[in-house]
Amino acid sequence: MAMANNKTQCFICNKDRITFPCEGCSKRFCLIHLTEHQKILHDELNYITNEYNEFIQTINERKQNHLLIKQIGQWERNSIEIIQQKAQECRKIVVEYSRTCLNDIEKNLKDLNEQIKQIHQENEFNEINLNYLTNQLRKMTEEFNNPSRIFIKQEPQSFINDISIILSKKPKFSKYKQNAITVAGGNGEGHELNQLNSPEGIFIDKNKNIFTVDGLNHRIIEWKRYAKKGKIIAGGNGKGNWMNQLDRPTDVIVDEQNHSIIIADSGNRRVIQWKNQNQRILIKNIDCWGLAMDKKGFLYVSDRKKNEVRRWKMGEYNNEGIIVAGGNGKGDRLNLLNNPTFIFVDEDQSVYVSDFSNHRVMKWRKGAKEGRIVAGGNDKGENLNQLFLPQGVIVDDFGQIYVADFGNHRVMCWCEGKKEGEIVVGGNGERNQPNQLNDPCGLSFDDEGNLYVVDGSNNRIDKFEIIL
């Protein structure tokens, strides 16, 4: 008599074993991997608990602020005390604002001094460099001498004039010069240090150094500011799967805290870390494409074949990670993705995903079971409510979503909730003129708000300067 077979396939190891169901994700696990799965859930619960405690602390701090408002109400009974209090508050604001402005100017002057030193040391400069230095110094001088950003506004009242401080604000919608400056590559397709071959992802560090994926050269290149040539900082040893090689990498991020770079080594199906020319595989057997890291050090990776984005805690890459977007198969429903590529994570740990083959960008809030369309989603096309194979995605401080509209050779900007986007740069054909893009991929901002575009088929990095 044959023994009854009550074994099924474990979701993790794919072996036929006695398995146990998880009601939350509806998957079955063998005893070993069920324990690991439960540990991941407990870790996530601890994380949620910490978030809860931080929120409670914020509420308590807000209550203390309400007590101050009551005290201000008592002060209002005596006009002299009102004047004294208001004057003190305004002095504090003026002093702090002036200190901040001076600190910013001193920081920019220090940065400008470093640039001047670098130009002196390299002894390679031209009129463009000199014009840039002159313009930067002029801007700082105007900012120092311009008192119009802060002034006193008086409100007439029965007995006294109340004053308040008015600070000017940046305009919400940023505009960019339409002719780009080539800051890396642009010397044709090739493998020389002044060339690129099918670049993909990009990262700009705090010093405005450019790190870019040089895809078909199987390497990562760093371009210092004003440099005419790049420097190989990872790969560059031919296509391969040795630890010192890469195979068609797609994205790169710089972990400035740990002084390392993390690479989506797509052809080798791995995420690898390079630190001081030492390599370590962080994640294996993943069809990775896009990378992101949030403020708390969590690493996010898009998997274009599993149609999902997962998150890993720094240093805990031996587990399966946590699904934060997709993970329900391929499709165009709100809980599905179809070939996700580049990703962006905001301060609330919401994940923005370029849903490449669905011609849309999705936003998955932390803990959400499905995403929300925030750009495109109206089939492929070139209208303002459409995208065509979107790639790079970044979000600015105002929540505006910038998308590299790969198939339309342009960069679009979308405001969440709006039905249409607007063309930011490109959209003038697919050639190599300064106002044209050809298969744009990665996107990034520097700390001044300038926009950098990986101009893929033009084998260059374009910088579009912000118009202040």
Q: What is the DSSP letter of 4?
A: P
Residue 121: predicted pLDDT: 83
Q: Which H helix or E strand runs over 451?
A: strand 451-455
Q: What is the pTM for the complete model shown?
A: 0.66
- CA dist 293 and 184 (Å) reads 24
Cα separation, 282 vs 370, whole angstroms: 27
Q: Are 28 and 17 in contact (CB under 8 A)?
A: no
Q: Are 413 and 402 in contact (CB under 8 A)?
A: yes
Q: Of how many residues is the chain composed? A: 468
Whether the CB-CB separation of 212 and 455 falls below 8 Å is answered with no
Nearest to 357 by CA among 416, 408, 304, 398: 304
Strands 219-223 and 390-395: unpaired
DSSP 229-288: S-EEEEE-S-BSSSTT-BSS--EEEEETTTTEEEEEEGGGTEEEEEETTEEEEEEES--E
Chunk the chain into consecutive blocks of 10 residues (it has 468) and report each block's average pLDDT, rounded to whole numbers. Answer: 65 86 83 85 80 77 56 60 77 81 81 83 78 81 69 63 52 80 96 97 94 97 93 96 97 90 98 93 97 94 97 90 96 96 95 98 94 96 97 93 97 92 96 96 94 97 92
Q: How confident is the model at residue 167, as a pLDDT?
A: 55
Residue 4, number of CB atoms within 10 A of its CB: 6
What is the spatial distance between Cα 415 and Cα 425, in angstroms, rounded to a whole number? 16
C-alpha dihedral sign at 214, 217, 223, 229: negative
pLDDT of 3 reads 45
Burial of 290 (0-12, 13-18, 19+ CB in 10 A): buried
Other Cβ atoms within 10 Å of 415 Cβ, number? 16
Do 221 and 184 meet the contact criterion of CB atoms below 8 Å apart? Answer: yes
Q: CA–CA separation, 176 vs 182, rounded Å? A: 15
pLDDT in tens, 418-452: 899 999 999 999 999 999 999 999 999 998 899 99
Q: Distance between CA 307 and CA 286 in Å, rounded? A: 11
Q: Which tokens go with 223?
A: 């371009």
Q: What is the dihedral of CA 5, 11, 15, 16, to 10 degrees?
A: 0
> Rounded to whole angstroms, what are the CA distances from 145 to 78, 95, 101, 133, 388?
38, 16, 11, 18, 47
- Interatomic CA distance for residues 40 and 361, integer angstroms: 28
Residue found under tokens 């071959």: 197
Going by C-beta distance under 8 Å and a sequence separation of 6 or more, which residues neighbour residue 283?
270, 271, 301, 312, 317, 321
Handedness of CA 329, 331, 334, 338 (dihedral sign): positive
Tokens representing residue 373 in the block: 């369309």
One-letter amino acid of 406: F
Cα distance between residue 167 and residue 171, in whole Å: 13
**Straight-line distance from the first to the last Cα atom of the chain, in angstroms, rounded to the nearest whole number:** 83
Q: DSSP letter string over 389-416?
A: SEEEEEE-TT-EEEEEEGGGTEEEEEET
